[in-house]
Structure 1
Amino acid sequence: MTAISLEPLDLAALLCSRVCHDVISPVGAIVNALEVLEEDDPSMKDFALDLIKKSARNASARLQFARLAFGAAGSAGAMIDLGDAGSVANGFLNDEKLSLDWEAPRALLPKNQVKLVLNLLVLATQAIPRGGKITCRCTVTGEQGNFAITATGSHARIPAHVEDLIAGRSETGAIDAHAVQPLYTGMVARAAGMKIAFAIEGDTVSIGAEPA
Structure 2
Amino acid sequence: MGIQVDMRVAELLCSRLCHDLVGPVGSVNHGIELLGEGMSDVMADATDMIAQSAEQAAARLEFYRVAFGLSGGGAGQMSFAEGRKLAERYIKQDVRLNWPVLADLPWQDQEKNVPKDVIKVILNLVMLGLECLPRNGTLSISQAVLPEGLGVALVVDGPKAHIKDEIKSAIAPDAREDSLTARTVQPYFMAKLAQDLGVDFEIFSPEPDCVQLAVIIPLEV
TM-score band (shorter)? 0.7 to 0.9
Stretch of structure 1 that moved more, 169-178 or 126-135: 169-178
Shift of 1:142: 9.9
Matches within 5 A, 1:56-71: 56-71=54-69
Secondary structure at the aligned position of 1:103 is classed as: coil
CA distance in 2, matches of 1:44, 1:134: 37
**What residue ranges of structure 1 are gaps of 5+ in the alignment?**
1-5
| Aligned twin of 2:208 | 202
Q: Secondary structure at the match of 1:11?
A: helix
CA pair 194-75 structure 1, distance change in 2 beyond 3 A: closer
TM-score where L is the length of structure 2: 0.83
| 42, 45, 48: which one aligns with 1:47 | 45
Deviation at 1:209, TM superposition (A): 1.1
What is the aligned counterpart of 1:190 among 183, 190, 195?
Answer: 195
Shift of 1:94: 4.9
Contact 1:109 1:145 in 2 (8 A): no
Change (3 A) 1:50 1:157: same
Q: SS at the partner of 2:154?
A: strand
In 1, Cα distance between equivalents of 2:182 and 2:195: 21
- Percent identical across equivalent pairs? 29
CA RMSD of aligned residues (A): 2.4
Does the CA contact (< 8 Å) of 2:140 and 2:155 recur in 1?
A: yes
2:22 to 24, 33, 38: 24
Count matched residues: 206
* 1:72 CA displacement: 1.5
In structure 2, give the amino acid aligned to 1:100.
L
Counterparts of 1:26-105 in structure 2, within 5 Å, are: 26-95=24-93, 97-105=94-102
1:117 & 1:94 partners in 2: Cα distance?
Answer: 17
CA distance in 1, matches of 2:147, 2:117: 15
The one of the two structures with greater contact order (alpha-carbon pairs below 8 A, sep at least 6) is 1
User: Compared with structure 1, are the counterparts of its residues 66 and 211 closer, same or farther at alpha carbon in structure 2 (3 Å cutoff)?
Assistant: closer
More strand by share: 1
In structure 2, the CA distance between the partners of 1:38 and 1:122, relative to structure 1 (3 Å rule), is same
Cα distance change of structure 1 residues 174 and 99 upon mapping to structure 2, 3 Å threshold: same
Give the letter aligned to residue 163 of structure 1: K
**1:160-210 CA-partner distances (Å, limit 9, x unpaired):** 232331234348952122211000000111122112222321222111112
Q: Which amino acid is 1:56 matched to?
A: A
Question: Which amino acid in the other structure matches residue 197 of structure 1?
Answer: E
C-alpha separation in 1, matches of 2:77 and 2:147:
12
Alpha-carbon offset, residue 13 of structure 1: 1.7
Aligned partner of 1:157 in structure 2 is: 162
Query: Which of these residues, 103, 125, 128, is aligned with residue 133 of structure 2?
Result: 128
**CA–CA distance in 2 between the matches of 1:143 and 1:62?**
32
CA contact (8 A) 1:104 1:137 kept: no
Contact in 1 for aligned 2:8/2:177 (Cα 8 Å): no
